[in-house]
Amino acid sequence: MKKEILIQANKLLPKDGGYDTFLDGVKLYKTTSYGPRGPLLYDICLVLVLQGKKIGYLGNNTLEYNCHQYLVIPTILPFECETYATKEEPFMCMLISIDKKIMYELIDSMSKPKNQTCTNCELGVFSDNVTADIEDITLRLLNTLESKEESKILGPQLLRELFYRIIRGEHAHFLHKMFLNTNNEAKISRSLKNIHDNYSEHLDVPNLARDEDMSVSSFHTHFKKITSHTPIQYIKKIRLNKAKDLIARHRYQVNDTAYEVGYESVAQFSRDFKTYFGYPPKEAKPLYEEYVIN
């Protein structure tokens, strides 16, 4: 990233933590500490790394995102991340929620994409190259975030321009397929959203497949290709990530949390939680402190 981007980022990120901004759907994050590989849940978003790098692990797939490669998560995915950062070179990034309505409008207005070369085009996440245009938008967006008025007036159009550049990315093949409603990718994406919204309810694969007019075998196959998880594994990881959030950020008791996320057995919940995160649920803590830019 350009030197001007780092200067502006450091002005907005005086210390470690997550920062809400004046622009809805845009957050900033900074850490000066190495973060070992661990579970993380990404909602539908774009991650623009301003400095440092992260490595994401999804099944047998590894994705590095840094100041030269941004990460696009066009569906809700639990995977694992490792963060590289030091006091001399902190990790800084901008997390931008993807507005599906805008994406539909843009893709519908665009000409059909040329054959793209994404090697993991079936996977529901991809990294792509930071272009000069994206660097330029990133700097303008960071400058805009200093002002509440400019964020309100100029911010939405800057995001629309950024989304357009992302859609035009070399590896954006899955992104286009996801927004074509009849594709299997779009069907699985809707199912992931359904699971995300109704994780505490009884969810079974035959009904999930039926909801998208797919056979169970086809649903299972495409689900695994896109998420690297079976449907049952995915449901469990969504529930556990939600549970961690309830305990760490909302101070829920362990027993209440287990039932809130759909578990019938507190003991089973505690075992699954410790296996997944590496510590018992009572030791869950927020990933980072949260601040508001002002």
Domain ranges of the chain: 3-178, 184-283
Give me the CATH code for the 184-283 domain, please.
1.10.10.60
- Best CA proximity match to 89, nearest among 38, 49, 138, 31: 31
Give CA separation, 292 vs 14, 22, 153, in Å: 11, 8, 19
Which residues have CB under 8 Å from 13's CB, separation 6+?
Answer: 19, 28, 29, 30, 90, 92
Q: In the numeric block, which tokens belong to residue 159?
A: 């995001």
Q: What is the mean pLDDT of the chain?
A: 90
- Which range has the worst mean pLDDT, 46-55, 230-239, 281-290? 281-290
Distance in Å from the first CA to the final CA of the chain:
24
Q: What pLDDT sits at residue 119?
A: 46
Cα–Cα dist 238/190, whole Å: 15
Task: Tell me which architecture the domain covering 3-178 has in CATH.
Answer: Sandwich (2.60)
Average pLDDT over residues 212-230: 94
Average pLDDT over residues 173-184: 74
- Best CA proximity match to 127, nearest among 178, 61, 198, 69: 69
| DSSP-derived secondary structure letter, 48 | E
Global confidence as pTM: 0.85
Average pLDDT over residues 255-270: 96
